[in-house]
Chains A and B, each alone.
Chain A
Amino acid sequence: MFDLEKSIVEWRKQMLAAGIKSPVPLEELEIHLREEIERQVRLGMSLRDAFETASGKMGRPRELKTEFKKISVPVEIRFVKLADIACGVVGLFFLLWTAYVALFIHEANWASRAFGLLAVAATILIWRHAGRFLPAIRQPKVRAAAGLAACVVGFGGTLMFIRQVLPGLFIVSAPADFSVNRLLVSFVVAWTAMAILGAIAFRLDEAAGKTESQHV
């Protein structure tokens, strides 16, 4: 007597042995297999034949594994993604700070405020649309390296600004003639450069993906 459940368990084992270990694709494949078996049975096939036909149509486990492997994210790209998130957190902090100074610090003059708000708007636009203008780097490793380099330069620039430029502003501008305008303007200049680097790191993947979809 043919046992469908046992056969499906065996089929799952073959898939696992071939390397399809992630639960989501395996579950999806099994649901598909069951639907096809049901359809074949409705068409008059025996349960055994329906299983054989349906599992055959699913494809060879090794071929499926190769296809799924193409979409798994390599370690270096995962690392870049983490760096991207770190860039994003730092970026958000700078963005909020710039917006806060531009809007709520009363000592800032109107020209500095406008400059600050313009930088905030430019940053948001760059981060949102950079993918359209960046070149498509096809090799994932080169793309990861470029993203990582942008992150490193961005972090380096941020640290340099905090350690070198920022204390200088406070020292040169002693409390008596400390200028919020000068602080805001220098912050915005440094920040916008870092925002561009961050946008590069974030959007390289998107740029490559979009160009891929243009090539059928």
Chain B
Amino acid sequence: MIRKELVAASAEPLILSLLAKGESYGYAIIQEVKARSGGKLQWTDGMLYPVLHRMERRGLIKSRWGESETGRKRKYYSLKKDGKLAMSRHHEQWLLVHGVLSGLRKEQYV
């Protein structure tokens, strides 16, 4: 399992990146993150919503109420222009961290 601090830090970039593919809702976001990480990246389900609401308040994402195919009410979230910019910044920063770590790891095995 991945450490709690890393899970928390990665929440925003992951949500932004998932929403960049198209609008989605809380439950689907959690399921997709779980599937893509092979179950290693798990959020406490309810904790996703304060993050989504905070991102909405900061103007990164927007929401609308809609209905599922079965008629269930759902709140769909989608990316805003500022959200796209924030996502690019997150990608740059995470790639930088990844690059530094990879470089250091390679040096250990030389």
Contacts and interface: CB of A to CB of B under 8 A. Distances in A.
Contact of A28 (B49, B58, B60): B49
A28 B26 contact: yes
Interface string B74-98: 1100000010001001100110000
Contacts of A25: 49-50, 53
A28 B49 CA distance: 8
- Is chain B's interface secondary structure helix, strand, loop, or mixed overall? helix
Interface residues of B, number: 28
Nearest to B48: A32
A210 B89 CA distance: 10
A36 B45 contact: yes
State which size class the interface on A falls in.
20 to 34
B72 interface: yes
Nearest to B75: A28
A31 to B, nearest CB: 6
Contact of B13 (A32, A35, A212, A216): A216
B58 A209 contact: yes
A57 B31 CA distance: 13
Interface of A: 24-25, 27-29, 31-32, 34-36, 54, 57-59, 63-64, 67-68, 70-71, 206, 209-210, 212-214, 216
